[in-house]
Amino acid sequence: MSVGDPHIVVVMGVSGSGKSTVAAMLAETLGWDLLEGDDLHPAANVAKMAAGHPLADADRQPWLEAIAAWMADHLATGRSGLVTCSALKHSYRDTLRRAAIGHPGDITFLLLHGTREQLRARVTARKDHFMPPGLLDSQLDTLEPPTPDEHIITVEIGPPPAEVAVTALAAVRKRTGGAG
C-alpha cells in the first residue's frame, strides 16, 4: 500500500463488543465514511435474529457481499472508510478481503475482544437493538479467532469506549503508515 492509498478498516467482533461506538469515534477522528454493517442486513435476517435464531452461513453470504461491494466501491474511488461487521469466521473475512482485489489500498480488520462476562453485561444492558442477548453464545461459538496470517489487530474492550478508540486509532495508524 502506498501513502495516500485508500484504506478500509473493518471493526469486527461479536454482539456487544462496541463495534458501532468505536467505529463512530474512529470515523469522526479520521474523517472517513462509516458503514454500519447491520444496516445492510435483509429484513429476513433481522427478523430471524430478533426472533432469537442465529443466522446460517447462507443467510450471511448476501449480507457479506453487500458489505464487500461498499468496500470495493470506496477503494475504487479512492475513499477510505470504516465498516462494522461481526466477521466471525475466516471465510467471512475472506469474502470481505476480496473487495481489495484490483484496487489500490488495503483492508485492516480490528477485532474488539472481551470476556463472555463483559459482553453479556453489555448486551443485557442495551435497549432497542434487534439482536437479543440470547444469541451471544451462538456468536461466541461461531467466532473463529484470528490466525497469525490474518494480521488482525485485537483491542480489549475493558476500558471505557473512548480509551478503546484511542488504542484502536493508534494501532490503525501504525498499520496504515499514519493514514488518517
Is 32 a member of any domain? yes
pLDDT digits (tens, 9 = 90+) for 151-160: 899 999 999 9
Is 66 a member of any domain? yes
| Best CA proximity match to 151, nearest among 96, 91, 111 | 111
The residue type found at 102 is G
Is 65 a member of any domain? yes
Structural domain count, the chain: 1
* 3-class DSSP state of 172: helix
* 3-class DSSP state of 165: helix
CATH of the domain at 105: 3.40.50.300
CB atoms within 10 A of CB 110: 24
Is 1 a member of any domain? no
Is 55 a member of any domain? yes
The more confident residue out of 124 and 108 is: 108
Is the pLDDT at 2 greater than 50? The verdict is no
pLDDT digits (tens, 9 = 90+) for 65-119: 999 999 999 999 999 999 999 999 999 999 999 998 888 788 999 999 998 888 8
| Best CA proximity match to 132, nearest among 114, 117, 120, 145 | 120
Query: Which residue range is the domain that position 52 belongs to?
Result: 7-175
Question: Which residues, 6+ apart, have CB-to-CB distance to 58 below 8 Å?
Answer: none
Is 164 a member of any domain? yes
Q: What is the mean pLDDT of residues 52-63?
A: 87
The C-alpha cell 462496541 sits at: 18
pLDDT at residue 144, rounded to an integer: 93
CB atoms within 10 A of CB 144: 13
The C-alpha cell 461459538 sits at: 141
Is 2 a member of any domain? no
The more confident residue out of 55 and 11 is: 11
The beta strand positions in 13-162, using DSSP E, are 33-36, 81-84, 106-113, 153-156
